[in-house]
Homo-oligomer: A and B are copies of this chain.
Amino acid sequence: MYDKSTTQSARTDLLSALGRIGVRRVFARNKEIYSEDDPAASWFIVLSGTVRICKLLVGGRRHIAEFCYPGDCFGLDRVTQRLYSAEAVGDVVVMRYAHKATELLINDEPHLAQALYAMTLRGLANAQTRILVLGAMRAPERVARFLVEFSERREYCDVLEVPMSRNDIADYLGLTVETVCRVLSSFKSDGVIALSGPHRIELRSPDTLAALCET
């Protein structure tokens, strides 16, 4: 669907060029990478681990806009202040790039702008899928969708090492912890998944899950 070869090579160019201006940073589980309302002077690429982009709402509720996995970028928005915070789900390694330095780099090598643009478009496509999930799917489909998405973006086999808590998943899917648990339990009793510890989920029937989240 996407023009993979082009964006892939542009991406490689981008990464090697960025190597010169980036700083490697490590964050421990649950540490904040940046807070809401922080000045937004830089953006990031995840090297390892999982990052959650989130926001506290009135009434103590929390909303998770996005999970970022290795290779994903976040904080690219052209705002002066952060609208969301970014937190390490488990231990995380990221590269940090100042917006200023990125602009200079792009002035030198304008073709890199295309790679950045492609990353942003990918973010937009992800966001649109999320709008669809949250706007049109019910609890079981949302959870199925989460599992399928995770296995596509994160793992290459059917045993998922899910780093986030049930609470994270719930806030990501617009559900409650209890509902997420119940749906997972029912998937389990239907033999669609197997659970060995809360953070290890085995997809026994990926096709059933995929069918569930067909639009």
Nearest B-chain residue to A118, judged by Cβ: B78
Question: Which stretch in A21-29, A55-63, A148-156, A201-209 binds the other chain?
Answer: A55-63
**Would A65 and B130 count as touching, CB distance under 8 A?**
no
Query: Would you call A128 and B65 a contact (CB within 8 A)?
Result: yes
Q: Does A214 contact B (CB under 8 A)?
A: yes
On whether the beta carbons of B131 and A1 are closer than 8 Å, the reply is no
A215 at the interface (CB under 8 A from B): yes
Contacts of A76 in B (CB 8 A): 121
**Contact status A78-B121, CB under 8 Å:** yes
Closest to A111 in B: B110
Residue A79 lies at the interface, judged by CB distance under 8 Å to chain B:
yes
Q: Is A15 close to B, CB under 8 A?
A: no
Would you give the 0/1 interface string for A83-100, flagging 1 where the beta carbon is closer than 8 Å to chain B? 110000000000000000
Q: Nearest B residue to A120 by beta-carbon distance? A: B120
Q: Which of A183-215 contact B (CB under 8 A)?
A: 214-215
Q: Which of A61, A84, A110, A131 has the most CB of B within 10 A?
A: A131
Closest beta carbon of chain B to A131's beta carbon, Å: 5
Given A116-B117, A117-B120, A127-B128, 18 more A-B residue pairs with CB atoms under 8 Å apart are: A1-B80, A1-B81, A3-B78, A3-B80, A58-B214, A77-B121, A77-B124, A77-B125, A78-B118, A83-B125, A110-B110, A110-B113, A113-B117, A120-B120, A124-B124, A127-B127, A130-B131, A134-B174
Residue among A7, A110, A128, A172 with max Cβ neighbours from chain B (10 Å): A128
Number of A residues contacting the other chain (C-beta, 8 Å)?
42
Nearest chain B CB to A154's CB is how many angstroms away? 20
The answer to the question of A70 belonging to the interface, with a C-beta cut-off of 8 Å to chain B, is no
- Which 10 pairs across A and B sit closest by C-beta, in order of nearness? A127-B127, A135-B174, A134-B134, A63-B136, A134-B135, A57-B215, A124-B124, A78-B121, A130-B131, A110-B110
Measured CA separation A65–B130 after assembly (Å): 10
CB pair A121 B120 closer than 8 Å: yes
